[in-house]
């Protein structure tokens, strides 16, 4: 969200310098990972915690292999992907429209943007009972949760992007007597694509969270449903395996959209 | 152009947007009320706005919303305290040990973008269906922001201030408490503010999901009883609490960082 600031690491600090294996950073990273895995395995073997709360790495590895070779898992993954994607499209288009309107008109922006700004950081999952009443217990309510979650960051980013557009570009469009749709398609959207991509990146993250949380609360399909099923059956290795895959997918999707934005920024320069 | 004219223009600039925004909100509620009364919107899906406003008193008195608020507040206070102490300490640790920082900073940033709230079933197994599951979920959600911003604040201390400290022959601990910490404080607070917002979102969300604790549980309870006006009124109340919290932290941030 625009109001949650930038939590990324500056590019200059991301570099580890030349020579991967001669770099002490690489060795420290390996040491930390090995240390964590050793502590994990020791805890699993010690029986200090309830059985299976910390399963052995081998058990998690087996569960991960079983999960990834199970076609049913991919069906559930496709259901969640479909819900997240649909939610992102609906929430994104709404957010983009509202953001462009608020960014284009000072009066509209000043009148309504504070509501978006302050409603953005509220916990969206509490709207789930309302979404169930409106859209039923099926995928509709999950799509709605995804849409409502991503609407705010995309709308706020689009409004901010609109205000950053060079006035000259807008005057050029008007001097060519461009219609509103032409202005949006030919001037506004190309000029504000970087903030919009950033908004979509943030929106995608919260749409994934909103949809999956809704699935864990009430659903009979999707990854969220599988996670809560694993919890109910106390199948901890499967739960860890699913969480690992989910985190990789979520962080990977976030990084992919971020990379698109960075690639676009480099091309612009 | 005098001061009175400037003040009038200023108040007009603020008055019109406020009136339009607030007026549109009131018009929306009136329109929903009318559409429900004439049967366009089912009252079994959306309760009358007048019923929702009437439900506030019932929710406050019968459902003891204030004591629920206290429960959420206690959870948030414990998680907030833990985030502050652990987050700032880890930020300082990473600042002190550059190698450790270079090795782990990207991991902390990745953790900040990870959907950690989805680990709540795991936390349920570890901590049980108790207050600690909620507190720990809030803690995990808010921690990366505080670590990263503490690190950013300390690293961003102007070189000239550090040199002044050195010229006065300050000890490392004096250098830290007299120069680095005061200079980094505004940025650290930005991190704390972000962390506390993430924490509050997660605490209320997990309360709702595991049906335990304060305000989040109340929404779940009322929804399961199909008390529509009560559910909507409680959601309004939670949104109001979140907005007030957000505004309060924003004011403190502006006080610490004048001109932002």
Structure confidence by residue, pLDDT tens digits, B8-42 = 665 567 788 889 989 999 999 999 999 999 999 99
Domain that holds residue A224: 77-268
- On the 0-12 / 13-18 / 19+ scale of CB atoms within 10 A, A68 is exposed
CA distances from B32 to A144, B48, B52 (A): 20, 7, 12
Predicted pLDDT of residue A3: 42
Structure tokens at B81: 């305290």
Closest CA to B60 of B222, B201, B205, B223: B222
Distance to chain B for A105, nearest Cα, Å: 11
Q: Calculate what percentage of chain B has a pLDDT beyond 90.
A: 48
pLDDT at A13 over 60: no
Structure confidence by residue, pLDDT tens digits, A171-206 = 888 898 888 888 888 888 888 888 888 889 889 989
The answer to whether residues B105 and B65 belong to one domain is: yes
Q: Is residue A29 part of a domain?
A: no
Rounded Cα distance, A207 and A142, in Å = 10
Q: By CA distance, what is B109's nearest residue in A?
A: A8
Of chain A residues 224-243, which have a CB less than 8 A from chain B? 224, 227-228, 230-231, 234, 236, 239-240, 243
From A9, A32, A134, residue closest to B106, measured CB to CB: A9
Distance to chain B for A106, nearest Cα, Å: 9
CB contact under 8 A, B120 and A107: no
Q: Is residue A207 part of a domain?
A: yes
Q: Give the count of beta carbons closer than 10 Å to the beta carbon of residue B32.
A: 17
Q: What single string gives the DSSP state of each residue in B16-44? A: HHHHHHHHHHHHHHHHHHHHHHTTSS-TT
Distance of CA A106 to the CA centre of its chain: 30
Structure tokens at A165: 């557009």
CB A7 within 8 A of CB B148: yes
Predicted pLDDT of residue A1: 38
Domain count, chain A: 1
Distance to chain B for A129, nearest Cα, Å: 6
Location of structure tokens 């502050």: B84
Predicted pLDDT of residue A4: 46
Q: Is residue A53 part of a domain?
A: no
The answer to whether residues B20 and B101 belong to one domain is: no
Q: Is residue A115 part of a domain?
A: yes
Q: A252 and chain B: CB distance < 8 Å anywhere?
A: no
Q: Is residue B53 part of a domain?
A: no
Q: A127 and chain B: CB distance < 8 Å anywhere?
A: yes
Does this model's pTM top 0.95?
A: no
What CATH number is attached to the domain comprising A141? 1.10.3720.10
Q: Which residues from B are below 8 Å from A145, CB to CB?
A: none
The answer to whether residues B195 and B87 belong to one domain is: yes
How much is the CA Rg of chain A, to the nearest whole Å? 23
Residue with more model confidence, B194 or A2: B194
CA distances from B143 to B31, B80, B137, B146, B189 (A): 43, 9, 10, 5, 13
The answer to whether residues B37 and B130 belong to one domain is: no
Q: By CA distance, what is B232's nearest residue in A?
A: A130
CB contact under 8 A, B113 and A254: yes
CB contact under 8 A, B243 and A122: yes
Q: Give the three-state DSSP class for B214.
A: coil
Structure confidence by residue, pLDDT tens digits, B128-172 = 889 999 999 999 999 999 999 999 999 988 888 888 888 888 888
Q: What is the ipTM of this complex?
A: 0.85
Q: Is residue A174 part of a domain?
A: yes
Q: By CA distance, what is A131's nearest residue in B?
A: B45
pLDDT at B122 over 90: no
Predicted pLDDT of residue B228: 92
Rounded to the nearest 10 degrees, the angle between the axes of helix A128-135 and helix A139-164 is 110
Structure tokens at B31: 């329109």
Q: Is residue B51 part of a domain?
A: no
Q: Is residue A50 part of a domain?
A: no
Domain that holds residue B41: 3-46
From B126, B223, B243, residue closest to A129, measured CB to CB: B223
User: Residue B90: CB partners within 8 Å, gap ≥ 6?
Assistant: B143, B147, B150
Question: In angstroms, how far is the first alpha carbon of chain B from the final one?
Answer: 29
Predicted pLDDT of residue B34: 95
CB A28 within 8 A of CB B103: yes
Domain count, chain B: 2
Q: Is residue B246 part of a domain?
A: yes
Q: A169 and chain B: CB distance < 8 Å anywhere?
A: no
Structure confidence by residue, pLDDT tens digits, A211-263 = 999 999 988 999 999 999 998 888 889 999 999 999 898 888 888 887 776 66
CB A101 within 8 A of CB A163: no
Q: Give the three-state DSSP class for A189.
A: helix
Q: Which residues from B are below 8 Å from A125, CB to CB?
A: 205, 208-209
Distance to chain B for A78, nearest Cα, Å: 18
Structure confidence by residue, pLDDT tens digits, A95-109 = 999 999 998 888 999
Interior/surface letters A89-98, b for 16+ CB within 10 angstroms, e for the rest: ebbbebbbeb
Q: Is residue B75 part of a domain?
A: yes
Predicted pLDDT of residue B38: 93
Q: What single string gives the DSSP state of each residue in A102-160? A: HHH-HHHHHHHHHHHHHHTTS-GGGGHHHHHHHH-SSHHHHHHHHHHHHHHHHHHHHHH
CB contact under 8 A, B243 and A119: yes
Q: By CA distance, what is B215's nearest residue in A?
A: A126
Q: Is residue A145 part of a domain?
A: yes
pLDDT at B127 over 50: yes
**For all residues of chain B together, what is the average pLDDT?**
88
CB A102 within 8 A of CB A159: yes
User: Residue A130: CB partners within 8 Å, gap ≥ 6?
Assistant: B231, B232, B235
**Residue B176 banded pLDDT, cuts 50, 70, 90:** confident
What CATH number is attached to the domain comprising B222? 1.10.3720.10
Q: Is residue A194 part of a domain?
A: yes
Rounded Cα distance, B6 and B1, in Å = 7
Q: Is residue B11 part of a domain?
A: yes
The answer to whether residues B98 and B154 belong to one domain is: yes
DSSP conformational letter for A9:
P
The answer to whether residues B20 and B84 belong to one domain is: no
Distance to chain A for B259, nearest Cα, Å: 16
pLDDT at B219 over 50: yes
Average pLDDT estimate for A116-142: 91
Q: Give the count of beta carbons closer than 10 Å to the beta carbon of residue A153.
A: 29
From A107, A125, A231, residue closest to B125, measured CB to CB: A231
Structure confidence by residue, pLDDT tens digits, A20-63 = 777 888 899 999 999 999 998 988 888 777 667 888 999 999 99
Q: Is residue B168 part of a domain?
A: yes
């Amino acid at each position: 969200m625009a109001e949650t600031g930038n939590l990324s690491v500056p590019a200059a600090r991301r570099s580890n310098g030349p020579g991967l294996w001669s770099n002490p950073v690489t060795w420290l990273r390996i040491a930390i990972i090995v240390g964590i895995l050793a502590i994990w395995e020791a805890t699993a073997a010690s029986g200090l915690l309830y059985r299976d709360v910390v399963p052995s790495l081998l058990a998690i590895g087996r569960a991960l292999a079983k999960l990834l070779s199970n076609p049913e898992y991919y069906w559930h993954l496709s259901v969640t992907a479909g819900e997240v994607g649909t939610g992102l499209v609906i929430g994104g288009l709404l957010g983009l429209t509202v953001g462009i309107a608020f960014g284009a008109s000072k009066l509209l922006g000043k009148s309504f943007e504070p509501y978006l700004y302050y409603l953005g950081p509220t916990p969206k999952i509490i709207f789930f009972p309302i979404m169930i009443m409106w859209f039923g217990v099926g995928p509709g309510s999950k799509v709605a949760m995804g849409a409502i979650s991503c609407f705010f960051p995309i709308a706020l980013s689009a409004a901010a992007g609109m205000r950053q557009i060079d006035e000259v570009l807008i005057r050029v469009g008007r001097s060519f007597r461009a219609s509103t749709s032409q202005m949006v398609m030919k001037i506004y959207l190309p000029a504000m694509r970087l903030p919009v991509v950033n908004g979509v990146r943030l929106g995608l993250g919260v749409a994934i969270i909103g949809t999956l949380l809704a699935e864990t609360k009430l659903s009979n399909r999707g990854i969220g449903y599988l996670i809560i099923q694993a919890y109910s059956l106390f199948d901890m290795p499967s739960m860890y395996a699913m969480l690992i895959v989910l985190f990789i997918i979520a962080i990977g999707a976030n990084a992919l959209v971020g990379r698109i934005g960075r690639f676009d920024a480099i091309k612009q320069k | 152009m005098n001061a009175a004219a400037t003040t009038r223009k200023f108040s007009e600039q603020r008055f019109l947007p406020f009136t339009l925004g607030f007026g549109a909100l009131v018009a929306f509620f009136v329109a929903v009320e009318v559409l429900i009364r004439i049967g366009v919107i089912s009252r079994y899906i959306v309760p009358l706005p007048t019923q929702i406003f009437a439900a506030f008193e019932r929710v406050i008195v019968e459902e003891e919303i204030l004591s629920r608020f206290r429960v959420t507040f206690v959870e948030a206070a414990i998680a907030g305290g833990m985030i502050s102490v652990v987050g700032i300490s880890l930020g300082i640790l990473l600042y002190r040990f550059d190698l450790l920082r270079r090795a782990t900073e990207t991991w902390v940033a990745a953790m900040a973008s990870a959907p950690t709230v989805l680990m709540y079933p795991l936390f349920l197994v570890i901590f049980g269906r108790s207050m600690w599951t909620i507190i720990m979920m809030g803690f995990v959600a808010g921690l990366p922001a505080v670590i990263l911003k503490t690190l950013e604040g300390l690293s961003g201390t102007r070189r000239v201030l550090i040199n002044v400290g050195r010229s006065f022959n300050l000890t490392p601990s004096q250098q830290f408490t007299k120069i680095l910490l005061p200079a980094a404080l505004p940025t650290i607070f930005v991190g704390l503010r972000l962390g506390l917002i993430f924490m509050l979102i997660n605490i209320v969300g997990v309360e709702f999901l595991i049906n335990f604790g304060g305000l989040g549980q109340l929404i779940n309870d009322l929804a399961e009883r199909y008390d529509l006006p009560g559910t909507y009124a409680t959601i309004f109340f939670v949104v109001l609490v979140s907005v007030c919290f957000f505004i309060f932290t924003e004011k403190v941030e502006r006080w610490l960082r004048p001109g932002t």
